[in-house]
């Protein structure tokens, strides 16, 4: 599938005006990243669709339609932005050294150890020292799918690698195949508000970011990139992946509010009502 087709599909699912697609200019071609998947197409289509949505919101506020140009190589770089961000000249701190891909007796598994509790659970299952060499030796004596199942039961995060044919008949793949790529759910009604008319398309909109790790924080970061005032809600007790925070928190303001405490919930409610600047 070409990136233009991917954007058109997303745009249709979102109920967008097809006239807006005429404002889109996509450049570049695969391969953009070393992968068996068309990651450049995914990156370009996702960024183009979000940019087009913001441009259409701007148009609905009374401004002329504007073009949206996305180069595939630039989109691929943004999808790896945590590797390129520099703070005071330094890159992001590295992730946990144990995380990654390992050979097993009959294939491969990828283990996630960036959260300390996930790391500890994997090491407990393997009964080995906390080094890549020890983990590799222990996994070489395990079967991939069996260890994935064992890890899931123990609350660890491990994925066995499967080829396309094996994955296609897996119950999880079949369940995912029934879901739309994009859904928008209306959860209630509220009084109408005028669309923003600031210098940037989303200026004047406040968004509350209650998410962590990658997908949700990147969505909030996208809103901030287009001018929204994004408040990242966090608390010292919450586990974070420090190597990702400098990048996913770009453009946001941090609000410490522990939602397990009544004071934190009251602070969040006041923020939503616009009583905290």
* pLDDT exceeds 80 at position 257: yes
73 and 19 share one domain: yes
Same domain as 104, residue 74: no
Confidence of residue 70 (pLDDT cuts 50, 70, 90): very high
Both 151 and 218 in one domain: the answer is no
Do 210 and 262 lie in a common domain?
yes
59 found inside a domain: yes
CB-facing half-sphere around the CA of 253: CA atoms within 13 A: 12
Both 17 and 59 in a single domain?
yes
Among 153, 175, 197, identify where a domain stops.
175
Task: Answer yes or no: do 122 and 71 share one domain.
Answer: no
User: CATH no. for residue 264?
Assistant: 3.40.50.10540
pLDDT at 77 > cutoff 90: yes
In a domain, 192, yes or no: no
Domain count of the chain?
3
At 215 the pLDDT is: 92
pLDDT of residue 78: 94
Do residue 170 and residue 219 come from a single domain?
no
Pair 75, 129 in one domain = no
**pLDDT tens sequence across 176-193:** 999 998 889 999 998 888
| Separation of alpha carbons 49 and 76, rounded Å | 15
Rounded mean pLDDT, 59-81:
95
User: Tens of pLDDT along 95-150?
Assistant: 899 999 999 999 999 999 999 999 999 999 999 999 999 999 999 999 999 999 99
* Residue 48 belongs to a domain: yes
* Domain C-terminal end among 135, 153, 175: 175
pLDDT at 245: 87
63 and 114 together in one domain: no
Q: Predicted confidence band at 277 (pLDDT cuts at 50, 70, 90)? A: low
**Position 212 in a domain:** yes
Question: What tens digit of pLDDT does each residue of 191-203 get?
Answer: 888 888 999 999 9
227 falls within a domain: yes
Radius of gyration, alpha carbons of the chain: 22
User: Is 201 within the bounds of a domain?
Assistant: no
- Structural domain boundaries enclosing 58: 3-79
Q: Does the residue 109 lie in any domain?
A: yes
- 188 lies in a domain? no
pLDDT at 276: 67
């Amino acid at each position: 599938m070409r990136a233009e087709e991917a954007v058109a599909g997303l745009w249709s699912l979102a109920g967008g005006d097809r006239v807006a697609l005429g404002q889109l200019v996509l450049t570049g071609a695969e391969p953009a990243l070393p992968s068996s998947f068309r990651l450049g197409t995914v990156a370009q289509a996702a960024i183009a669709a979000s940019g087009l949505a913001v441009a259409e919101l701007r148009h609905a506020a009374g401004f002329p339609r504007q073009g949206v140009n996305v180069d595939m190589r630039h989109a691929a770089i943004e999808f790896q932005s945590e590797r390129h961000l520099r703070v005071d000249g330094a890159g992001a701190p590295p992730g946990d050294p144990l995380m990654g891909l390992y050979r097993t007796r009959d294939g491969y598994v990828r283990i996630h150890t960036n959260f300390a509790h996930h790391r500890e659970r994997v090491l407990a299952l393997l009964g080995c020292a906390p080094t890549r060499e020890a983990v590799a030796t222990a996994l070489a004596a395990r079967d991939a799918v069996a260890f994935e199942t064992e890890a899931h039961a123990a609350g660890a995060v491990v994925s066995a690698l499967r080829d396309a044919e094996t994955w296609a008949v897996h119950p999880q793949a079949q369940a995912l195949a029934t879901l739309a790529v994009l859904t928008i759910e209306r959860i209630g009604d509220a009084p109408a508000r005028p669309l923003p008319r600031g210098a940037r398309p989303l200026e004047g909109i406040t968004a509350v970011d209650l998410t962590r790790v990658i997908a949700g924080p990147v969505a909030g970061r996208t809103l901030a990139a287009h001018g929204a005032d994004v408040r990242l809600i966090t608390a010292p007790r919450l586990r974070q992946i420090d190597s990702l925070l400098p990048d996913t928190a770009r453009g946001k303001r941090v609000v410490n509010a522990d939602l397990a405490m009544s004071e934190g919930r009251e602070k969040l409610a006041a923020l939503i009502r616009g009583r905290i600047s």
